[in-house]
Chain A
Amino acid sequence: MTTPLALSAEEPQAPALPRFAWAHSPLLLAGVVILGIFVMIALLAPFLVADPTAINTSKRLKPPSEMFWFGTDHLGRDIFARTMVGTRNSLLVGFGVAISVTLLGVTIGLYAGFSKWGERIFMRLMDGLMAIPGVLLAIALVALLRGGLLVVIIAITIPEVPRMVRLVRSVVLTVKEQPFVDAAISVGSSTPKILWLHVLPNTIGPLSVQATYVAVSAIIAEAVLSFLGVGTPPEIPSWGNMMAEGRAYFQLAPWIIGFPGLMLSIIALTVNLMGDALRERLDPRLARRSGLK
């Protein structure tokens, strides 16, 4: 019962990430700064910008100007305000999916890596899930469960889980053959303790890298679902449904689709770069090299 406390108190991953990480990796630093700006926008947007749902029919399809930085859409709504508020939606989905995929993936992956029956049942289940195209599965799930941000998160999470499970299981299979696991058994550690204390901390590196990629793919998947009209409900501005609405006016008012698209690209690129930087930092071979310094 005291083990979770122990873990957080001792910071098992300490050598991999701490203070040196920033200095060694400008890429990671840049990623963190840009992501930080996005998070700030997501948190503060509702207080800083005009009402994103205010309709002004006299100012329809206006190009970017001093008053409307990103222009207006076909209902005269402020694209800048909508884009900023849409950030919240995208980040919520991105983080929400990344966290739930990681939790599910770790739980199932650990179980499948240690139990014969867990492996048989869950890995076949995961194989089955992987056979279905992710977006199709998500559309089906949203249709089944109907509306709401939570449903979108669940719908994107489920198709993403199998890859995480496979990753965790493969790491577990490698780690559990390490001599230090035998050593842990030989001082009397029980199986749960070995999982928690010796296997889990050693999966954190590849896991956190995979989580960033999951976040990117979730942000894009949310936009895709909203674009297709099965994602975020239209009354909540999201990049996906903005682009879907702007699609009809693309030649007339490219800014409607352009600005949310640009934001989507920037955030996807940022998180991807962070993932790459993290991988470089946490890859056991590379990490060992820097550890010797």
Chain B
Amino acid sequence: MSALLHVENLSVTFGSADRRTHAVSDVSFTLEAGRTLCLVGESGSGKSVTSMAVMGLLPARGATVEARRLAFAGEDLRTATPARLAQLRGKEISMIFQDPMSSLNPALTIGYQIAEAVRLHEPVSRAEARRRALDMLDRMRIPDARRRLDQYPHQMSGGMRQRVMIAMALACNPKLLIADEPTTALDVTVQAQILSLMDELKRDMGMAILLITHDLGVVAEMADEVAVMYAGRIVERGPVTAVFDRPSHGYTHGLLGAKPRRSSSERLLELPGGVPRLDRHVETCAFAPRCRFAETACSQEPVAPIAFDAGHMGLCRRHAAVRAAVAMQVDHHA
């Protein structure tokens, strides 16, 4: 089966020739129907820019998007006309944004906004679209949905608004849902509800999800596959169990170590330093200066992708050392 979303060597740069920011470099991944891929990384690692590039939402002025391949269901998104893109967006590919507070138009009722999303793609009557909107709100488990339809965004809480956003994004049963930190702005209980809702919809409708998050708890819960991003590159990618159990990149190791465990009283492992500046295109490992496994070669010679095992690959010449360290830790805990 061919992949639903196929991204190959995607690079995004901002700015002019003399002051260029390499936000995303050489990012490749594929996503199949009914699967969830999580993009994980710190702020500024290029997760959101990657998703915006797929969606075609980056400003034409200022952003340069290059890719060997950027295809949805076999269709090239780079050469699609604006009209074709408008057809795809919402109908085939939908997006949920990070900030539920400002992602809804304050001047329109939420019922109208959801119905509008339906009417953009399907030739249904106003009444029918409204019925569909009501249906979506019910599926989002919004209590008293009928009354909610005629409310404005400012009359709802953040969790409600995020559900409305999701209802809007899912109104036409898209094949691919891009969710950019959909639960970051919400509290934990609402977060859990929203995530399980998304998971349910994925199972029911066979939808693929590209989930962007920095929350490893969310990843463990939701992901089939994980791609760890650092400084605009995917540094490690693979099935969630493989990446969590056998991290093979110094950064992934650090990231997993920074996750609190209740059972352990050990000090959290922190990553020294910060995300590097992205004004130069680097061929060497960008993480090397912060990496506890780094050797001189790391910051001098270019890194090439290495396949570890089935579907699990990464950009780390010290992967053996990283794995050994992980194995030792596991022994230690056991």
Contact = CB atoms under 8 A, between A and B. Distances in A.
Interface of A: 6, 10, 12-15, 178-180, 182-190, 193, 197-198, 201-202, 204, 288, 291-292
A202 B152 CA distance: 13
B103 A179 contact: yes
A189 B120 contact: yes
B169 interface: yes
A180 B105 contact: yes
A186 B89 contact: yes
Given A188-B87, A188-B89, A288-B154, A183 B108 contact: no
Contacts of A183: 95, 97, 103-104, 165, 168
B108 A187 contact: no
B103 A197 contact: no
Contact of A186 (B57, B108, B112, B155): B57
B86 A179 contact: no
21 contacts: A10-B109, A12-B107, A12-B108, A178-B102, A179-B99, A179-B103, A180-B106, A183-B95, A183-B165, A184-B105, A187-B89, A187-B90, A187-B94, A187-B117, A188-B89, A188-B91, A189-B86, A189-B116, A193-B120, A198-B105, A201-B107
Contacts of A288: 154
Given A187-B90, A198-B105, 11 more contacts: A10-B112, A182-B57, A183-B97, A187-B116, A188-B90, A188-B121, A189-B90, A189-B116, A193-B120, A202-B106, A291-B152
Contact of B116 (A185, A197, A201): A197
Nearest to A15: B152
A193 B89 CA distance: 14
Interface string B101-144: 01111111100100011001100001000000000000000000
Contact of A187 (B99, B120, B155): B120
A165 to B, nearest CB: 21
Contacts of B83: 190
B90 A180 contact: no
A182 B152 CA distance: 19
Contacts of A13: 107
Given A188-B120, A189-B120, A15 B154 contact: yes
Contacts of A291: 152, 154-155
Tell me the dominant secondary structure on chain A's binding face: helix
B57 A180 contact: no
Contacts of B57: 182, 185-186
A209 to B, nearest CB: 16
Contact of A180 (B104, B154, B169): B104
A10 B55 CA distance: 30
B242 interface: no
Nearest to A187: B90
A188 B107 contact: no
For the complex of A and B, 9 pairs with smallest distance between CB atoms: A188-B90, A187-B90, A201-B107, A186-B95, A188-B89, A187-B117, A179-B103, A291-B154, A12-B107
A202 B94 CA distance: 24
